[in-house]
Structure 1
């Protein structure tokens, strides 16, 4: 499993992801006690296990489904003003009360995934372009 130090990984389960499935994963305690868990929860536990086996510390922080925009920016390691700019442009829906701009975590995660995919595509396009290098020949002037 791919684990990067100091890179946050946020797991957000939809209602359907919280259901147990027949013959699904089970958490077994040292006393042999068994607890059925949803498959997505198993993925989270595998991520935690992989990180800890590589010697990394793990921080688990429950997040609400709606966050102040600054907390959401911190969660995805984006500059707060940059996330505010995206929200102001309409890229991320938000609501405001008297003191705080609120965003849904699911919207922020989806936006961040799109942003990362766009960046990856731009880098791939650059990598596929022909080099400006003409093979090392020099032109005398």
Structure 2
């Protein structure tokens, strides 16, 4: 079976090298996870739903994933929608250290900027006013 890196690392489980798309054998580590995320074409994927499996790049770990949230483009309750976005904005700005402590990596800053731009452009209240 397969478990996530954070679980394997914390429980001192054995792990393996994997051959990535570029033919390089790698150990799992934060830099290789970051490389996979950095090499993705986030802006070309609708809703940022990038699958990070087998990304190109000599340092890209071949089994990497991102977590996502789904929000309605039209927020029936704009106040709640704004509060949700404030939370995620806070998490992007302040959550990197907590993510690292849990053996996860934060999103690349360029992706965060793109996501926040999408919030501004796409998430509206029922009158069409931007929520973020």
TM-score (norm 2): 0.25
Of the two structures, which has the highest relative contact order with CA contacts closer than 8 Å and spacing of 6 or more? 2
Which of the pair is proportionally richer in strand?
Answer: 1
Larger Rg computed on CA atoms: 1
